[in-house]
Structure 1
């Protein structure tokens, strides 16, 4: 069985473009050369990878399977190149961790700080994403490690619990909702809100559930962190939805009330996830071990 990385990169390009011509352009290959390489791949595996039609090509079941493996192989090769390049520049390794808003702001900083102190030769790049996007990136092999809400993950992704993360409503103690202990989210309709910036993963999550309830949230202000949001709430600018950990921390120094949201989407289990923990690169495995021990100690 003979094929190379160029064949796999071309195969991915053709699959994404749904066209051998389009794939050849993306892979910077002549059409004749691209066609020969695709035929060679099919001969090497002994199966048809594409169904040809007038409007282009579609993957066969075998092609779908190869696409998953090909993306993973290319991702691992790129990770290998990156790690070796860092050796040459004096930095030994780097781990990419995708995290949702709550993880990035409330749950991860302390654990990551202690890991970085213990491993001065490893860097950690944390990128904020919505949990569903993290799940897709992990499943496709585009990322090694994620910190996400468990409900967004398919069964095929491995995970372990890091922390519970209830979303809660905060309101000024002087406001109409300040005396409530719990509330259905639909009952907040008509109230002014203070929220995160619109592109933030958590704000997207809240917005989706509001839309399902037929609600259009009116935001008086959008800010970048939970402390600033809670300060606005304390000043009776509006109400806000924030993680309970942030709400309790801010309530110690601000006149805000914490109101439990009864809707099921407000209860979230935050997990560390990977396609396969055993197959992770060594730096990522070290980070996983540290996060696992931190989760147990919480």
Structure 2
């Protein structure tokens, strides 16, 4: 059994992209070369590492074991480069950070801008994902840092508080639902999600982690959200809602920033899942390279 680093990186790319073709492209290899390398690994182990089908390729049980070790080796190499980078200005460092929709749009831009300005040798690979997928990626070593909601099970990771991030319902002040909601104080002034599902929704684009999260809550109630249109930004959603075309679920911070208080009403969602907090999660804080620990500290300070 003889694997080199190219083999291991290729296998990680294939597993994460779901196909040998895409993995080869990410590894900067031709498809025949990548296929030959995978075949060589399987022949050397006398094991099938991938299940190939019309929809792509997925790791077998043996392949998942290999993937775990390949990621660990890649992480050790990155840590080594990060440590050595402290002794020379020419080496670049990278942090892979996964987060949900709200963190991506509302909280991270300002925090990351200041940090990157003070760390010119560092780059951040930032990607939006569902919280449960982020937990899995950090656990597997596919990401250095995750920012997730407290609604997911992150017990296998170390977590630190990041932000309060409740979800709210936004509607035009003249919308019929706005007229029915009481004007009391506290939670009594809010509404249950189940009582909104007869309304038309203005949603975020289909790949939005927040939109998928809201749709999952509706599914748990045995219902569906009817989205008349899906838009790319919170600001666009608020403008559409102000026209009376529908209601929307947004993070409170985004709603307060984007909504015109004279045209829109922001109402609390009284469901427990909407009263959420964001957490920073890592595998082992003490074992993180210095530049990753510095980023975690900067996120908590901002």
Asked if Structure 1 and Structure 2 have the same fold, meaning a TM-score greater than 0.5 normalized by the shorter chain, the answer is yes
The answer as to whether partners of 2:7 and 2:37 remain within 8 angstroms in 1 is: no
Q: Which whole-Å CA distance do the structure 2 matches of 1:6 and 1:291 have between them? A: 33
> In the TM superposition, what is the alpha-carbon distance from 1:190 to its structure 2 partner?
1.9
Provide the residue aligned with 1:161 in structure 2: 161
Q: Which whole-Å CA distance do the structure 1 matches of 2:287 and 2:249 have between them? A: 37
Provide the residue aligned with 2:177 in structure 1: 177
2:144 pairs with 1:136: no
Larger Rg: 1
Provide the residue aligned with 1:283 in structure 2: 291
**CA distance 1:65–1:237, shift in 2 (3 Å):** same
Match of 1:232 among 231, 240, 246: 240
**CA distance 1:165–1:35, shift in 2 (3 Å):** closer
In structure 2, the residue corresponding to 1:116 is in which secondary structure?
helix
In structure 1, the residue corresponding to 2:133 is in which secondary structure?
helix
Q: Which whole-Å CA distance do the structure 2 matches of 1:120 and 1:210 have between them? A: 44
Q: Which whole-Å CA distance do the structure 2 matches of 1:242 and 1:142 have between them? A: 28
2:221 pairs with 1:213: yes
Q: Which whole-Å CA distance do the structure 1 matches of 2:4 and 2:80 have between them? A: 14
2:210 pairs with 1:202: yes
The answer as to whether partners of 1:162 and 1:292 remain within 8 angstroms in 2 is: yes
**CA distance 1:228–1:113, shift in 2 (3 Å):** same
Q: Which whole-Å CA distance do the structure 1 matches of 2:141 and 2:3 have between them? A: 19
Q: Which whole-Å CA distance do the structure 1 matches of 2:252 and 2:211 have between them? A: 15
The answer as to whether partners of 2:235 and 2:259 remain within 8 angstroms in 1 is: no
Moved more, 169-178 or 274-283: 274-283
**CA distance 1:253–1:76, shift in 2 (3 Å):** farther
Provide the residue aligned with 2:117 in structure 1: 117
> In the TM superposition, what is the alpha-carbon distance from 1:59 to its structure 2 partner?
5.4
In structure 2, the residue corresponding to 1:183 is in which secondary structure?
coil
The answer as to whether partners of 2:82 and 2:291 remain within 8 angstroms in 1 is: no
Per-residue CA distance 1:99-153 (angstroms, 9 max, x = gap): 1100001111111122122222322221111111111100101111111112224
In structure 1, the residue corresponding to 2:147 is in which secondary structure?
strand
Provide the residue aligned with 1:76 in structure 2: 76
The answer as to whether partners of 2:255 and 2:266 remain within 8 angstroms in 1 is: yes
Q: Which whole-Å CA distance do the structure 2 matches of 1:185 and 1:253 have between them? A: 22
> In the TM superposition, what is the alpha-carbon distance from 1:237 to its structure 2 partner?
1.1
Question: When the two structures are superposed, what TM-score results if normalisation uses the length of structure 2?
Answer: 0.74
**CA distance 1:92–1:78, shift in 2 (3 Å):** closer
Provide the residue aligned with 1:263 in structure 2: 271
Moved more, 166-175 or 179-188: 179-188
> In the TM superposition, what is the alpha-carbon distance from 1:67 to its structure 2 partner?
6.0
Counting matched residue pairs gives: 268
Question: When the two structures are superposed, what TM-score results if normalisation uses the length of structure 1?
Answer: 0.75
Q: Which whole-Å CA distance do the structure 2 matches of 1:148 and 1:243 have between them? A: 14
In structure 2, the residue corresponding to 1:97 is in which secondary structure?
strand
Provide the residue aligned with 1:100 in structure 2: 100
Structure 2 unaligned blocks of 5 or more: 19-32, 49-58, 182-188
Q: Which whole-Å CA distance do the structure 2 matches of 1:271 and 1:118 have between them? A: 24
Structure 1 unaligned blocks of 5 or more: 18-24, 40-48, 51-56
> In the TM superposition, what is the alpha-carbon distance from 1:154 to its structure 2 partner?
2.7
Provide the residue aligned with 1:53 in structure 2: none
In structure 1, the residue corresponding to 2:151 is in which secondary structure?
helix
The answer as to whether partners of 2:169 and 2:248 remain within 8 angstroms in 1 is: yes
In structure 2, the residue corresponding to 1:204 is in which secondary structure?
helix
The answer as to whether partners of 2:238 and 2:255 remain within 8 angstroms in 1 is: yes
